[in-house]
Amino acid sequence: MKVLVYDGLGVWLAARRLNKGRFVWTNGEQAIALPLNPEQLRALVAGLPWRTLTPDHAITVL
């Protein structure tokens, strides 16, 4: 996955290579499109368990 980011000073490219070649997504019984909040999106891109991310189960990325 590649994302172009503009930070006010310029544009930079953020790249993420997936170990298994794909993101962990939902099973076939659930909707194809799911709304994600910003925390869930960051967890998905970082490879964390985004489906169980709640305020009670906070994950800190250092």
The confidence score (pLDDT) of residue 15 equals 80
Torsion angle of the four alpha carbons 20, 32, 29, 26, in this order, in degrees rounded to the nearest 10: 30
The whole-number pLDDT of residue 10 equals: 87
pLDDT digits (tens, 9 = 90+) for 6-62: 888 889 888 877 666 666 666 666 556 777 778 777 777 777 766 666 666 555 555
Q: Which residues contact 59 (CB under 8 A, 6 or more apart)?
A: 43, 48, 49, 53
pLDDT over 70 at 4, yes or no: yes
Tell me the sheet residues that pair with 5: 12
